[in-house]
Amino acid sequence: MTDNYLNSWNETEIKKSITDFVTKVTAENSPGFIPVNERIAVFDNDGTLWTEQPLQVEIFYALYRMKILSGKDPSLKNTQPFKAFIEEDIKTLSTFGKKELLEIAFKSHDGKTPQEFYRNVKEFFENSVHPKFKFSYYNCAYKPQLELLDYLRANGFKIFIVSGGGLEFMRVVTEKIYEIPNERVIGSTTATEVVYDGTKPVINRLPQLSNFDDKEEKVLNIHHHIGGVPVLAFGNSDGDLSMLRYTLNSSEYNLALLLHHDDASREVAYDKDFVLSPLNEALKVSAAEGIRVVSMKNDWNEVF
Amino acid sequence: MTDNYLNSWNETEIKKSITDFVTKVTAENSPGFIPVNERIAVFDNDGTLWTEQPLQVEIFYALYRMKILSGKDPSLKNTQPFKAFIEEDIKTLSTFGKKELLEIAFKSHDGKTPQEFYRNVKEFFENSVHPKFKFSYYNCAYKPQLELLDYLRANGFKIFIVSGGGLEFMRVVTEKIYEIPNERVIGSTTATEVVYDGTKPVINRLPQLSNFDDKEEKVLNIHHHIGGVPVLAFGNSDGDLSMLRYTLNSSEYNLALLLHHDDASREVAYDKDFVLSPLNEALKVSAAEGIRVVSMKNDWNEVF
C-alpha cells in the first residue's frame, strides 16, 4: 500500500527506498517478508518527529514552569542555571549538554504525582505557542513524518518512540499528535517511589533523572521494553546512531534513516553546531554504513 | 461477548463478577464504559497463569542449566546453593526467599547475548517435562486462564504480564503459550551493557539481577512501561498485592482477582506456607478491600 500516503515526500531516491523496503517486507511471497509481529519501527522524537529548534519543546516547558516556580521562590531568579531559563537566555542554555539540561529541566518537572505532572504539562500545551513558529506545540510535528507513521501503520508496523525526552512529558501528547499509545513510548525517566495513602499505593515523582535514554541506552531500552530488534529506525542526531546501527546490523532486511535539517527557509539548518543534540559522527559514517540521509530541503515538499 | 468463552469456569459468583465487569465496561452506553485504549489488564505469571509448584518453571530451568554448568566446572557440585540445585534438593531450595533464589538463578542464566540465552531456554522447553505433572512446560498454563485471556482480548482489552519472573526467560514462551507479544511482558531484568563488534552494538547480559519486579516495583513498572492504570489485575501472592490495590484504588471501574490454590487433588493446595511466593496478607485483606478470591477447586471445572 503506497497510494495516498507520503504526499509531502518528493519523488526522490529516499522516498523510493522507503516504499521499496515496505513493499519488500510486506509482500507475502517476497524473500524479505517480515511477519507482522516483527515489523518493529522506532522513531526518535525531538528533531525527528517534531522540531527541536531553537530548544526542545520540553526545555520550553521547563522554562515556562520555572517562571511559575520563581513566582513562589524569587531567589531562583538570581541562581544559575534557573536564571538562564527564567530570562529565556537561549545562548547560555545552549552551553549546557543535553543530559545536563534535562537534569535541570527535570528539577522543574514538579508535580508530586503523575496526575499533577500531567495536568501541569497539559496546561502548558493548551496555553502556549512555539516562540519561533508562533503556532501551538501540538502542530510542531512534521507533516511528512505523520504521513510516514500512517503509511507504516497501514502496512502492519508496530511503531515505538525511543527518545531522550522525558517519558511522562511525551505521553501527555504522543497519542494525540502521533496516534502512538503510551505503552509504545520509551523515554528518559524520573526517579519514582511508592508511598501509601491508607491502602492505596501512590506514585511519587522525585526530581531527578533515573535513566537517560540516549545512545547505547536506547539499544538497551529497546531490548528491555520491546523485546525485539527494529527493522526500521529513524533518528536525527548522534544520540540515535547506536539504534540505527543496531537496526542495520541485527536484522537481515532493514532501513535506517537520518533526518538532516538543511532547510533554513522553512525550518532551520543545523547539524554539528547544535550542542543540545549534535549531528556529526552519524552524518560522517552514514554513507559507509548504509544509513540513508533524508534532506528536509530536497525530500520534503511540505514541513509542518 | 460472553458466548463460547470461559467454559472451564463454573457458574459461580466469581464468573459472574468477571462477565458483569466486562459487560459493564464495554457497553457503549453504560456509565462504566471504558474506551478500548484504557482497557488495561495485568496478570502475574507464576502461580497465576501457570503452575509454580513445587518450584517455579524458571527455577527448574536454573536447575537444568546448573547441571550442564557443573559438567564444565565440577567444583560447583559441592558449593551451596548450587549443590541444592544440582541435587534437586527442593527442601533446601525452599529455604531461600524468592528474590534470593532468583538472584542465584540469574547466575545460571548464562548466555552472553540475548540470542544465546534464548537458544538455551528454548532447548530446555523443547526437551523437558514438568517433574510433577509429567507433561511439557508449554502445557503448564491453566486452561481457565487461557480462556480468560481470549475473552478479554475479544472484548478489546490490552493484556500485559507483570511478573517477578525473568523478562527474557518469559519472552521465550509467552507469545506461544498466551499469545501475548514481547512488548507486553514486564518482568525482572538482568543487568545488561552494550559492547561493539566493529560498528555493530551487541548486548551483553551480566549475571546479576538489576530489577526485581515484585510488590511496589510492579506498580512502578506498570507506570513506566504501560503509562496507564490497569482496570483489571489478577495475581496469586503477596507479591501481587500492591498492583491489586493500585488497580482497585486508581480506577473507578475495576476488578482485582486473586487465585487461591486450594485444589490438592487436581493441582496443589498452598498459600502462606509457600516460602518462595507466599499468599498471606493479600488473602487476609481481600474481603475488606474488595479483592475477589478465585478458588481453583470451586470456580474451575478444569485446571490444565
Share the mean pLDDT of chain A.
Answer: 93
Choose the closest CB to B227 out of A182, A216, A285: A182
Give A163 or B85, the one with higher predicted confidence.
Answer: A163
For residue A41, give the nearest of A243, A205, A281 by alpha carbon. Answer: A243
B80-98 mean pLDDT: 80
A32-37 mean pLDDT: 94
**What pLDDT, on the 0 to 100 scale, is given for residue A2?**
58
* Category of A85 on φ-ψ map: left (φ > 0), alpha (ψ -120 to 50) or beta: alpha
In a domain, B3, yes or no: no
Same domain, B69 and B44: no
Grid-cell match 507520503, residue found: A6
Residues of B in contact with A287 (CB under 8 A): none
Choose the closest CB to A181 out of B37, B182, B225: B37
User: What is the grid cell recorded at A248?
Assistant: 542495520
Give B208 or B186, the one with higher predicted confidence.
Answer: B186
Which range of residues forms the domain containing residue B212?
Answer: 13-52+140-299
Share the mean pLDDT of chain B.
Answer: 93
pLDDT at B183 over 80: yes
**What pLDDT, on the 0 to 100 scale, is given for residue B287?**
97
Which of A7-11, A80-84, B50-54, B241-245 is predicted least confidently? A80-84
Which of A8-22, A79-93, B212-226 is predicted least confidently? A79-93
B232-257 mean pLDDT: 96
Same domain, A162 and A117: no
Residues of A in contact with B246 (CB under 8 A): 200-201
Same domain, A66 and A163: no
A189 Cβ under 8 Å from any chain B Cβ: yes
pLDDT at B193 over 90: yes
Residues of A in contact with B225 (CB under 8 A): 183, 225
**What pLDDT, on the 0 to 100 scale, is given for residue A201?**
97
The interface residues of chain B toward chain A in range 24-43, judged by CB-CB distance below 8 A, are: 37
Neighbours of B69 (CB within 10 A): 17
Same domain, B262 and B166: yes
Give A297 or A107, the one with higher predicted confidence.
Answer: A297
For residue B243, give the nearest of A194, A117, A187, A206 by alpha carbon. Answer: A194
Whether residue A89 contacts residue A101, with contact meaning beta carbons closer than 8 Å, is answered with no
Same domain, A62 and A25: no
In a domain, A5, yes or no: no
Which candidate in A42, A168, A182, A250 is best for mutational testing of the B interface (most B CBs within 10 A)?
A: A182
Q: pLDDT above 90 covers what percent of chain B?
A: 76
Distance from CA of B21 to the nearest CA of A (A): 21
**How many whole angstroms separate alpha carbon A147 and alpha carbon A9?**
9
pLDDT tier at A68 (50, 70, 90 boundaries)? confident
Give A97 or A202, the one with higher predicted confidence.
Answer: A202
Quote the number of domains for chain B: 2
A1-21 mean pLDDT: 91
Q: What is the pTM of this model?
A: 0.95
pLDDT tens digit string along A204-253? 999 889 999 999 999 999 999 999 999 999 999 999 999 999 999 988 89
Same domain, A119 and A148: no
Nearest residue of chain A to residue B186 (CA atoms): A225
Torsion of CA A114, A116, A120, A125, to 10 degrees: 50
**What pLDDT, on the 0 to 100 scale, is given for residue A73?**
82
**What pLDDT, on the 0 to 100 scale, is given for residue B98?**
78
For residue A213, give the nearest of A204, A194, A226 by alpha carbon. Answer: A226
A151-170 mean pLDDT: 97
Which of the listed residues B94, B127, B160 is the one where a domain comes to its end? B127
Give Dmax (Cα) for chain A: 67
A26-37 mean pLDDT: 93
Whether residue B251 contacts residue A200, with contact meaning beta carbons closer than 8 Å, is answered with no
3-state SS, residue A121: helix
A85, with CB counted inside 10 A (0-12, 13-18, 19+), is buried
Same domain, A247 and A272: yes
Same domain, A42 and A61: no
Distance from CA of B292 to the nearest CA of A (A): 16
Q: Do A200 and B249 count as a contact with CB atoms less than 8 A apart?
A: yes
Which of the listed residues A72, A98, A127 is the one where a domain comes to its end? A127
Same domain, A67 and A47: no
Q: Please, which residues have CB within 8 angstroms of residue A211's CB and are 6 or more apart in sequence?
A: A188, A189, A217, A221
**How many whole angstroms separate alpha carbon B259 and alpha carbon A203?**
26
pLDDT tier at A82 (50, 70, 90 boundaries)? confident
Domain with residue A187: its CATH number is: 3.40.50.1000
In a domain, B279, yes or no: yes
B125, with CB counted inside 10 A (0-12, 13-18, 19+), is middle
pLDDT tier at B114 (50, 70, 90 boundaries)? very high
pLDDT at B166 over 90: yes
Q: Do A184 and B183 count as a contact with CB atoms less than 8 A apart?
A: yes
pLDDT at B2 over 70: no
In a domain, A280, yes or no: yes
Same domain, B157 and B210: yes
Q: Do A185 and B227 count as a contact with CB atoms less than 8 A apart?
A: yes
In a domain, B248, yes or no: yes
Same domain, A184 and A39: yes
Choose the closest CB to A246 out of B185, B201, B225: B201
A245 Cβ under 8 Å from any chain B Cβ: yes
pLDDT at A125 over 80: yes
pLDDT at B3 over 70: no
User: Counting one residue from A and one from B, how many pairs have CB atoms under 8 Å apart?
Assistant: 92
A203 Cβ under 8 Å from any chain B Cβ: yes
User: What is the grid cell recorded at B98?
Assistant: 524468592
Which of the listed residues A100, A127, A154 is the one where a domain comes to its end? A127
Q: Where does B27-73 have alpha helices with state H?
A: 57-72
Same domain, A30 and A169: yes
